[in-house]
Structure 1
Amino acid sequence: MHTEKVIDHIVNWLKDYATKANIKGFVVGVSGGIDSAVTSSLCAKTGLNTICVEMPIHQAPSQVTRAQEHIAQLKKRFSNVSDERIDLTSVFEEFKTVAPSTDSKAKLDLSLANTRARLRMTALYYLAGTQGYLVAGTGNKVEDFGVGFYTKYGDGGVDLSPIADLLKSEVYELGKALLVQESILIAAPTDGLFGDSRSDEDQIGASYDELEWAMKMKDQGKNLDDFTGREKEVFHIYNRLNTVNQHKMIPIPVCKIPVNLL
């Protein structure tokens, strides 16, 4: 990959989109992970106003520290970068007191995890609305179009997606070139939605390198019978998630009314 050229391409794409939309800046949720670090860095390089937003909800201290370190170094390097911190913990806890519960702990935990992401989306759009800015998404290609590892109308609710055509490994390449700090580059990817230390790999059952391989194999027309052992297991994981999460990757179904009924 021609890393510097890809960076320039994305930065120019962001600037061109914002200019055509008559928008003066971007809002980016910064989590302490590689995707949000790269996205916020790319937005900063446009020269347009960029607000980096921390939105902790019972967040692990290590994630908070990485996010704060990243924002601090971006502000030092780019005069167009500012930051906001919106602690949503109390909002989340209040929501739990008024929302109906369920007997299924697994469904409850997942619903609450997705609620965290949707509360953050609401906060980002609140800031974007008050400033007249765009919400920049942080999803990569494997998450957005491979396994659907994101929350519908949560971190998937954005105005534009600057890194959604990049594999996770390519995002890391950009991160190094963009001078993202080492603590983020070496951290295990996590969505931080469950209030514990589980990583993305823990949840998915496969690493991003494995998922990239499976994505490539599927694109080449391979099927489950072509593999054995761990490769077969990973390919099955990828296919299963790609299938069950199609509702996130395709347009919302619209019930078309026949003309003769109108």
Structure 2
Amino acid sequence: MGFKKKGLVIGVSGGIDSAVALTLAVQELGKDNVYGLLIPEKESAPSSTSLGAEICESLEISYEEVSISPILESLDIYDKKEQIIKRTCPEYDPRIHKTSLVLPDFLNQGLLNVPYIQLIKDGEAIAKYRLKANDYLELIGLQNVKQRSRMLVQYMCAEKMNYAVCGTTNKTELALGQFVKYGDGGVDIEPLADCYKTQIYALAKLLNVDEAIIQRPPSADTWSHFTSDEDFYWRMPIHVMDQLLYAQEHRLSVEVIEKNTELSRETIHKAQRHIDRMRNTTTYVRAAPPICYLGR
């Protein structure tokens, strides 16, 4: 490897991106040079760990599970998060409710970009409360500690083994800034960064990834109720988002986009503004830290 490392460490989430990255790494480097890490916390979906373990075992690689809950508890992340939810949602009771963070569906509600806390009881959404801007920013900051803690564990393991850390960010996520700086974005290599999310699905089929992983909705898996990227970040089906991103990249005409997405011209123009706004607000996430020279 160019890094002069012995192999790769990969955080295995039970999702399609990590499954594809893991399978490709094993094909390229061999099962003895790839190490899997399951990094759950108490709000993770149980399927994240079970599906992650299953793919590690099917590929016959060594792996271990390291919970980051103690790290998060030591930083008071769960309690701070509960305080925000309680002042936002008067009826919230952590003993009976699960929560998720959602945004309005773009195709039905357009450019309206207001975040809501959703309460779920017995698997059913029972209430939705609009978040204040300051509360939203604080929640995002608290949630991002989870991604950064996972990366801390990956580097601790990688440096012990003299391995490099392999990322799982795809081209869709990279274009939209859909990753956490110094979290899942803080890796040594990104093998999927030139593949749109829909291409990752095609790769998964080609690589015979478990159908249960392919069918699982993509998610950062940081809320007590499983929240898909479509519900929170994309705000539209992924095949539509990827068509729009591909069209921008290759300067396709609006007529071609209409045919491929079956969206109206007005909706396409609004969607393109939505994408541009996401790109602009996440420019700092993709940028390298600027070098500042201190003069006299």
Query: Normalised by the shorter chain, which TM-score bucket?
Result: 0.7 to 0.9
Letter matched to residue 63 of structure 1: S
In structure 2, what is the equivalent of residue 66 of structure 1? Answer: 51
Q: Is 1:131–2:168 an aligned residue pair? A: no
CA shift, 1:121, in A, is 0.4
Change (3 A) 1:98 1:137: closer
Structure 1 counterpart of 2:211, from 177, 182, 193: 182
Query: What's the C-alpha RMSD, in Å, of the aligned pairs?
Result: 2.5
State TM-score, norm by structure 2.
0.72
CA shift, 1:173, in A, is 1.4
In structure 1, what is the equivalent of residue 34 of structure 2? Answer: 50
Change (3 A) 1:96 1:222: farther
CA shift, 1:149, in A, is 0.5
SS at match of 1:135: strand
Give every structure 1 segment of 4 or more consecutive aligned residues whose post-TM-superposition deviation is greater than 3 Å. 97-104, 220-224, 226-230
Q: Distance in 2 between matches of 1:222 and 1:252?
A: 33
In structure 1, what is the equivalent of residue 89 of structure 2? Answer: none
Identity of counterpart residues, as a percentage?
Answer: 29
Q: Distance in 2 between matches of 1:241 and 1:213?
A: 16
Q: Distance in 1 between matches of 2:195 and 2:158?
A: 25
In structure 1, what is the equivalent of residue 222 of structure 2? Answer: 193
CA shift, 1:97, in A, is 6.5
SS at match of 2:152: helix
Deviations 1:132-167 (A, max 9, x none): 0000000000101x1110101000000011111111
Deviations 1:192-218 (A, max 9, x none): 122321100111212221221221232
CA shift, 1:98, in A, is 11
Letter matched to residue 28 of structure 1: I
Tell me if structure 1 keeps the 8 A contact 2:72–2:78. no
CA shift, 1:37, in A, is 0.4
**Whose strand fraction is larger, Structure 1's or Structure 2's?**
2
Structure 2 counterpart of 1:241, from 274, 278, 290: 278
In structure 2, what is the equivalent of residue 32 of structure 1? Answer: 14
CA shift, 1:220, in A, is 4.1
Q: Distance in 2 between matches of 1:220 and 1:83?
A: 40
For structure 2, the residue ranges without an aligned partner over 5 or more in a row are: 85-133, 258-263
Structure 1 segment 82-93 matched on structure 2, within 5 A: 82-93=62-73
Q: Distance in 1 between matches of 2:220 and 2:144?
A: 10
Aligned length in residues: 234
SS at match of 1:27: strand
Q: Distance in 2 between matches of 1:180 and 1:41?
A: 8
Q: Is 1:168–2:170 an aligned residue pair? A: no
Q: Is 1:111–2:148 an aligned residue pair? A: no
Deviations 1:79-105 (A, max 9, x none): xx2101101112211211799889743
Tell me if structure 2 keeps the 8 A contact 1:119–1:154. yes
**Whose helix fraction is larger, Structure 1's or Structure 2's?**
1
Q: Distance in 2 between matches of 1:189 and 1:243?
A: 23
For structure 1, the residue ranges without an aligned partner over 5 or more in a row are: 1-17, 76-80
SS at match of 1:23: coil
State TM-score, norm by structure 1.
0.81
SS at match of 2:209: coil
Structure 1 segment 149-160 matched on structure 2, within 5 A: 149-160=178-189
Q: Distance in 1 between matches of 2:253 and 2:276?
A: 9
